[in-house]
Chains A and B, each alone.
Chain A
Amino acid sequence: MSRVHDETFRALQADVAELGMNRRGFFKLAAVVGGGLVLGTRLTTAAETDADGSGGQLNTFVHIASDGTITIYAPRPEMGQGIKTALPMIIAEELGARWEDVNVVTAPVDSASFGGQGAGGSTTIPREWNRMRQLGASAREMLIDAGATVMELPRDELVAADSTVRHGSGRFMTFGQLAGLAAKQSVPDPDGLVFKSRDEYTILGKSMTGVDNLEIATGAALFGIDTRLPNMLYAAYQKCPAIGGRIRSANVEEIKTLPGVVDAFVLRGNDDPRQLLDGVAVVGTSTWAVFEARKRLQIEWDERRASKDSWAQIKARAESLYGQRGRDVTLDKGNVDDVFRDNKNTTLAAFYEYPFVAHLCMEPMNCTAHYRRGERSKDSIELWLPHQFPGSSIPLLSREFNVAEERITVHQTRMGGSFGRRVFSEYVLEAVTISERVNAPVKLTWSREDDMRHDFFRVGGFQSIKGAVDPSGKLVAFENHFVGMQTGGRPVSGSSFGPKQFPLQNLDDGFVSRTMFGINTPCGPWRAPGSNTNAFVVQSFLSEMAHVAGRDYVEFLLEILGEPRWFEPANVQSLNTGRAADVIRLAAEKSGWGREMPVGSGLGLAFYFCHAAHVAEVAEVSVDANKKLTVHRVTAAVDVGPIVNMSGALSQVEGSIIDGLSTMVGQKITMEEGRVQQTNFHQYPVLRMPAAPPVDVHFIQSDYTPTGLGEPALPPLAPAVGNAIFAATGERVRKMPLTELGFSV
């Protein structure tokens, strides 16, 4: 297994490379390889009239049948972020379609036809915005060409709307009538395409319900875990509770005799948790049979190379660093020491802590694999896979099993949540290895205990912060000693505090140092990596500074932001202080910021910029004498450019806020002796319906490139709630989860 490295990151890189593909490049590619309506096959041309001459394929993504049905491929995987509905909406808008006529089909995993097929980092919308508009507009122009020919009218007097091509005289033809001929028109030059302006939209910005809603509400098979194949066997895989332990021996012979068990065997891994760790596979006739049988496993583990990580030790070491600077200085701007020494200024220091947390996707990790042996080593592999980068499995498995990439087929399935979890592929390698061994299709299902203990966690950490305000109450210096985690000498996902963290760019004097602890507990991206903890620390601490200065936090923040400016003009990934100030003002206005609050109640505000999104949130809370916390309402002001699907956008903001609160209130993963100590919901409290606050969302729409909403509304929630708790009680929240400070919900 040692040849496999960082599949995920390769997939990400490939996705980024695709971003750089110019528009002509895309159309050339489409013309060469095309796409097809029949799932899993690759047609030879992009635009092609149907065999019976009635309908037509207008490009890789769009087919129109003679009855007017418009079929649009959804290229990228759906995990709850709404992309399966959103991308086709963009195409349909430019096409001039009626949304009711559109039938959305999940695209086969085929990057030659569909381009990048991953989803992560809230990047799908910005990456696909122009390409989807081009696909729709290109098909529209071909329909108009066909309409001009058939109706014998000047082409520039025709428009496409409501799934028709119409003329001012009232004459029109339907897309269905024109599709066959439209597919014979030449594909227009993408650079000549004109996109609609926002006031012309009939689909974008509206609330469209999810394209899979009927299937979800009726329990139809959608998710990876729902896969059923003829002669399919079921598998479980037991790994060492101390992460990375090897197997000395296991009672597999006894396990094989248990009811419903077909086979049991030891697999040897390569000690890399992202690939294959040692374990025992139990294969049987139902998930329950293998879950029951594994309870009887007796395994002697060799833990010499296993993780020895201890949260208690990590925490003690971090606390001993409080007040010191790290040896590794990552930013030294101006001279913070002079500012701190100046006794006209007021300084404040604080120590913040946040734990490891799990992804806890509702659908546990699973993969269905069929490894087929072929003649003369022509083996093949077929996968039914819930994964954020489903295509990344193809090169991975090709190298690992020496099977040609053309003989590996991946069916992407809907995911029951992911939040960054399903960028890793160890469950894929487990399933394929087991299928190869038993020579049958196998569905591997992780138990919740597997899922929680063998996660790639959101990393925990500590930040020792210091700041100064001048006599006028203005923030003049900011310092952070970031205590993070690394594996193999590299910071794990989310364990960094970069020089563009707010408010470093806005100040003349800033200083960041770091101390990194080596760990072996696997960590990975978790909904807004880095931002979800840095926002908590920075926005809580700045609110502390405002309080020390005797200032209102909104006013204090707006002063730091200063005049409207865009740090890197035209780069939406850089802070735009004008957009930031606007969301802060809007959240304050909509939440009634500054109003008198009853005793025991308070408002807290936080702002954060990440994933090209400017978001401000205000939490309204009350806390009773027993420290029972009630979050009465959260108001969010969000600027992500134009909104694609209003219903989906509202869902993402609401969901991020509930998720942020759930995580903040009670969630914490700890490990001792390398073993994750939480195994299931009873040890890992989640927010339930009675504690979920109403969420009031306000969007500022603009013509900036839109960005995705899967992540950016989460980071401001924790500091908003923490600041509100301070306003209500006078107690500072410098640590998550809140249960450790005695709060409950």
Chain B
Amino acid sequence: MAQFELEVNGETHRLDVPGEMPVLWALRDVLGLIGTKFGCGIAQCGACTVHLDGVAARACVLSVAGAAGKAITTIEGLGNGTRLHPVQRAWIDLDVAQCGYCQSGQIMSAAALLADNPAPTDADIDAAMVGNYCRCGTYNRIRAAIHSAAVQMSGDEASAGLFYDAAREVRT
């Protein structure tokens, strides 16, 4: 065992764990930050996505030793403490989640995309989100929520939320 300093959501934690322990398990089992999810353990599903120095990373294959000295952001730290991140807001308003289990990873990937590319095209979204699997099939709402958050973040809030029209034609 060695001591590692891990900066998570702006706080520095001193951890007594083997350096090869994946950040996923350090977050969940040591620090109690259970928002980051376990889905596969082999970087194939995206459920464990966090930001490492602002870039989306799969925490299940990122070692504590490798993350030491870098800033980790998890779903718990995505908002600014008093306000939700616009991506979280869009996810809630557009009712993206079904079971919800993949969604913290989806939100982290989406937030990293928008930090980098404030007005992504559908192709940009495809490229950024291809590693995040959703078993429940919420992809269309995820896409709509990313577009909606992009509009909110650009300040044009009036048109945010218009991308997903839940009230499609219903005959009675």
Which residues of A line the B interface, CB within 8 A? 78-82, 198, 205, 207, 209-210, 212-214, 216-223, 225-226, 228, 234, 259-260, 285-288, 291, 360-364, 414-418, 445, 447-448, 586, 643, 646-648, 650-652, 654-659, 662, 680-682, 686-690, 692, 694-702
Residue of B25, B102, B142 touching A362 (CB-CB under 8 A): B102
Chain B's closest residue to A452 (CB) is B40
Q: What is the distance, in angstroms, from B45's C-beta to the closest C-beta of chain A? A: 6
Q: Hey, what's the 0/1 contact readout for B87-102 against A, CB within 8 Å counting as 1?
A: 0110111010111111
* B76-120 near A? 1/0 per residue, CB < 8 Å: 101100001000110111010111111110010000000000000
Contact B171 A651 (CB under 8 A): no
Check B170 for interface membership: any CB of A closer than 8 A: yes
State in angstroms the CA–CA spacing of A94 and B52 once bound together. Answer: 49
Whether B13 sits at the interface, judged by CB under 8 Å, is no
Q: A234-B29, A701-B172 are in contact. Are A219 and B100 (CB under 8 A)?
A: no
Q: List 14 A-B contacts (CB under 8 A).
A: A80-B98, A207-B166, A210-B100, A217-B89, A217-B97, A221-B34, A228-B32, A228-B34, A259-B1, A288-B25, A362-B99, A414-B100, A696-B168, A698-B170
Alpha-carbon distance between A697 and B139 when the two chains are bound, in angstroms: 15
Which residue on chain B has the smallest CB distance to residue A700? Answer: B171
> Which of B132, B139, B141, B171 gathers the greatest number of chain A CB atoms within 10 Å?
B139
Indicate whether B70 reaches chain A with its CB closer than 8 angstroms: no
Q: Which 6 A-B pairs have the closest CB atoms?
A: A219-B35, A658-B137, A416-B101, A80-B99, A219-B75, A681-B44
Asked if B11 is at the interface of the complex by the 8 Å CB criterion, the answer is no
Say how far A333's CB is from chain B's closest CB, in angstroms: 36
Q: Which residues of B contact A210 (CB under 8 A)?
A: 95, 97, 100
Chain A nearest CB, measured from B46 CB (Å): 10
For B133, list chain A residues within 8 Å (CB): 362, 681, 686, 688
Measured CB to CB, the nearest residue on chain B to A690 is: B126
Which residue of chain B is the closest to A655 with respect to CB atoms? Answer: B137
Interface size on B, residues (CB 8 A): 69
- Measured between beta carbons, the chain B residues less than 8 angstroms from A225 are 34, 37-38
On whether the beta carbons of B168 and A226 are closer than 8 Å, the reply is no
Q: A82-B98, A363-B37 are in contact. Are A218 and B103 (CB under 8 A)?
A: no
Q: Which of B35, B98, B140, B167 contacts A692 (CB 8 A)?
A: B140
Interface string of B41-55 (1 = CB under 8 A from A): 110110100000000
A216 lies within 8 A of B97 (CB):
yes
Q: Is B66 an interface residue (CB 8 A)?
A: no
Q: Is the Cβ of B167 less than 8 Å from the Cβ of A207? A: yes
Q: In the complex the two chains form, is B88's CB within 8 Å of A207's CB?
A: no
Partner of A360, one of B89, B126, B135: B135
User: A207-B166, A218-B75, A414-B99 are known contacts. Are A692 and B42 too (CB-CB below 8 A)?
Assistant: no
Q: Which residues of chain A have C-beta atoms less than 8 A from B93's C-beta?
A: 209
Please name the residue on chain A nearest to B125 by beta carbon: A689
User: Chain B residues with Cβ under 8 A from A655's Cβ?
Assistant: 98, 136-138
Nearest B residue (CB) for A198: B172
Q: Which residues of A contact B91 (CB under 8 A)?
A: 213, 216-217
Cα of A681 to Cα of B103 in the assembled complex, Å: 18
Distance of A648 Cα from B141 Cα, bound (Å): 12
Residue of B103, B125, B170 contacting most chain A CB atoms (<10 Å): B170
Closest partner residue, chain B, to A79 (CB atom): B99
